[in-house]
Amino acid sequence: MLEQCEGSHAVAKAVALSRPEVICAYPISPQTHIVEGLGEMVKSGDLTPCEFINVESEFAALSVAIGASAAGARSYTATASQGLLFMAEAVYNASGLGLPIVMTVANRAIGAPINIWNDHTDSMSMRDAGWLQIFAETNQEALDLHIQAFKIAEELSLPVMVCMDGFILTHAYERVDMPSQEQVDKFLPPYEPRQVLDPNDPVTIGAMVGPEAFTEVRYLAHAKQMQALDLIPQIAAEFKKEFGRDSGGLIKTYKTEDAETIVIALGSVLGTIKDTVDDLRAEGVKVGVLGITSYRPFPISAIRDATANAKRIVVIEKCFAVGIGGIVSRDVRSAVRNRPQPVLTVVAGLGGRAITKTSVHKLLLDAIADKLELLTFLDLDWDVVNRVLDREKSQRRSGPIAEGILRDMGNLATQVV
């Protein structure tokens, strides 16, 4: 059924339709509306049987989900940014134990400086934690991916992180096609755990493993993610059959067949890039877009095949690894290894900075003219940067960087007298 609603509301409803049995909630922007919605559904009795637990931290949120999942319950939580870092130890633990928890990450920058706006630094910090990570482009896809995520997670007995851009998606009102309970029930059967804490058939979960078997345990985690490279497209196809929509999969391409330049990105920015590509195509520029939906497992073959004929690849990523550069682009480079095509890293949209069509348009023309360096920071204000560098050269006590920048920029809020 079509409805106009907030992205968070769409996700809350999709999660509820997936019949979770335990939900753990801890507030952090911009994820909060999702668990608020679920809390109301549990409290009103619309979502039952389900336990909704208001925990004292994100570390506890995921830990409660770990206990619930190990006891055989379909378990869900949501977080963002600092919250994901605070639960980091449990993030690794959930995947190490092989527990099919589904968690939404409403992508947000990580401080300091504290910043509540969107980028992908949070999810990327956990890219090696053993979770599957799937990125939504639109609210409809966020909704659809959550329903698929439970099925993927439970099939593999691995946790899945559904990543959606904070505010840009979570707080945007858009039309979504909300499936019925009957449809979701048909697609997603009740959870049948591979391992479960049950007094009638006792098992030990979480034993200490030494050098004699640790490598094997870790390899099996990798092997399962490799299985996911087949499973994710298969479940996307099943989803299409039931719901009639293309959602999920490993990657999606747009006008890449004859493209000399292919832009790679994740999440909601793909919309802006596609619009820019349409404009450039109208100007006769052969450019296309590749969206990565499954970042973990990383679809090396799919990306390699889809970019085989391109002259260059531009990766626009909302994150970066301080001290080296791109994160996504390094993975893309491993996909296109031994090919002459350059992979250009563009760091953009950090801490919620808008990625505009104008900037992307100019960026791509520069790339095509071979004027782009290997690492570019889109719309970086060099004046601001240089003022700080000059100040640090000229005075020892140059002060806190972020506050200095805001003062330089004339931000009134910092002019406290």
Partner 1 sequence: MEQTLVKFYQTGTFTVGNRLLAPEQRSLQSGAARSNSLNSGHRACQGCGEALGARYAIDAAMAATNGQLIAANATGCLEVFSTPYPETSWQMPWIHSLFGNTAAVATGIAAAMKAKGRSEVRVVAQGGDGGTTDIGFGCLSGMFERNDDVLYICYDNEAYMNTGVQRSSATPPAARTATTMPVGPNPGNEFGQGKNVPQIAMAHEIPYVATATVADLRDLEYKVTKAMSMHGARYIHIFVPCPLGWGAASHDTIKLSRLAVESGVFPVFEAERGEVTGVLKIRRQVPVEEYLKPQRRFAHLFGKKPDVATLARLQARADRNIRRFGLLGE
Q: Which residues bind partner 1 (CB under 8 A)?
A: 21-22, 24, 49-51, 53-57, 59-60, 63-73, 75, 89-90, 93, 97, 197-199, 201-210, 212-213
The least CB distance from residue 190 to partner 1, in Å, is 11
Copy the structure tokens of residue 67.
Answer: 């206990």
Nearer to partner 1, 198 or 373 (CB): 198
The least CB distance from residue 95 to partner 1, in Å, is 12
Nearer to partner 1, 89 or 381 (CB): 89
Nearer to partner 1, 91 or 164 (CB): 91
Listed residue (83, 132, 125) closest to 322, CA to CA: 125
Strands, sheet with 343-347, edge to edge from the N-terminal-most edge strand:
251-254, 287-292, 261-265, 312-317, 343-347, 375-377
The least CB distance from residue 160 to partner 1, in Å, is 18
Q: How many other β-carbons are positioned within 10 Å of the β-carbon of residue 114?
A: 11
User: What are φ and ψ of residue 103, in 5° steps?
Assistant: -135, 130
Nearer to partner 1, 57 or 234 (CB): 57
Listed residue (84, 93, 76, 46) closest to 154, CA to CA: 76
The least CB distance from residue 62 to partner 1, in Å, is 8
Nearer to partner 1, 49 or 323 (CB): 49
Burial class (CB in 10 A: 0-12, 13-18, 19+), 254: middle
The least CB distance from residue 204 to partner 1, in Å, is 4
DSSP assignment of 89-122 equals HHHHHHHHHT---EEEEEE---PSSP--S--SHH
Nearer to partner 1, 92 or 377 (CB): 92
The least CB distance from residue 127 to partner 1, in Å, is 21
